[in-house]
Amino acid sequence: MQGIEEYFFAENQAVPYSPTRRKTFLLHGLGGMGKTQLAVAFARRHQQRFSAILWMDGSSIDQLKQSFVAVVSRIPQDELTANVVESPQGDRLDTDVIVRGVLRWLSLPSNKHWLLIVDNIDRDWNAKEHDSLAFNPREYLPEADHGSILVTSRLAEMEDGFEAKLYVDRVDDAQAQSMLESNAGKELEGTSRSNVGCIRLY
């Protein structure tokens, strides 16, 4: 987790976190290596630094849009346009309206200190003719030059467009214990320390 923290917080250790420009970080590697757990541990450890943390399921276009629907109710309603506020209450839910509304909210000049996590973008949108559930991730990220974005993916092709990347082979002892402690909310004693791998930052 140290590499993630160094990237996001090297320039600014203040609480709340106030980066001077947009930060984009990619956690990638094979499945089952601990990418999601690292993202969870990072978000929990540093939740006080961010004004909002939005967690999106990127496993398919349908799941991603449903994630936008789920988070829109947690956004201050007076900071959303009327059509976005009304959409979840109507007979016909318009997920595209909600997606645009949330992206607009993330792009507001007055709203700069959020963390957006998009987890499990594992479908190759370049091969969309073979996978109707794939999507272009850039269409679902805010374009404003502020905020913090953390993405997890198995796709090596995702490397382009991210300012920093962490290739996760496997978590080592310290990382594993750190994630366990973060999830448990306390320091753990007597934990096993068998070696389970390493993490590379580049």
Q: Of all residues in the chain, what percent carry a pLDDT higher than 90?
A: 54
Report the Cα 169 to chain-centroid distance in Å.
Answer: 19
In the prediction, which pLDDT does 182 show?
A: 57
DSSP string, 31-81: TTSSHHHHHHHHHHHTGGGSS-EEEEE-SSHHHHHHHHHHHHTTS-GGGS-
How far is the C-alpha of 32 from the C-alpha of 122, rounded, in Å?
12
How far is the C-alpha of 177 from the C-alpha of 187, rounded, in Å?
9
In the prediction, which pLDDT does 184 show?
A: 62
Mean pLDDT of the chain: 83
How far is the C-alpha of 150 from the C-alpha of 157, rounded, in Å?
16
In the prediction, which pLDDT does 160 show?
A: 78
Q: Output 189 or 39, whichever has higher pLDDT.
A: 39
pLDDT digits (tens, 9 = 90+) for 2-26: 889 999 988 777 677 777 789 999 9
pLDDT digits (tens, 9 = 90+) for 105-132: 999 999 999 999 999 999 988 876 778 8
Q: Which of 7-11, 64-68, 73-77 has the lowest mean pLDDT?
A: 7-11
Q: Say yes or no to pLDDT of 60 above 60.
A: yes
Residues in the chain: 202
In the prediction, which pLDDT does 190 show?
A: 53
Taken in order of first residue, the domains within the chain and their CATH numbers are: 2-11+26-201 (3.40.50)
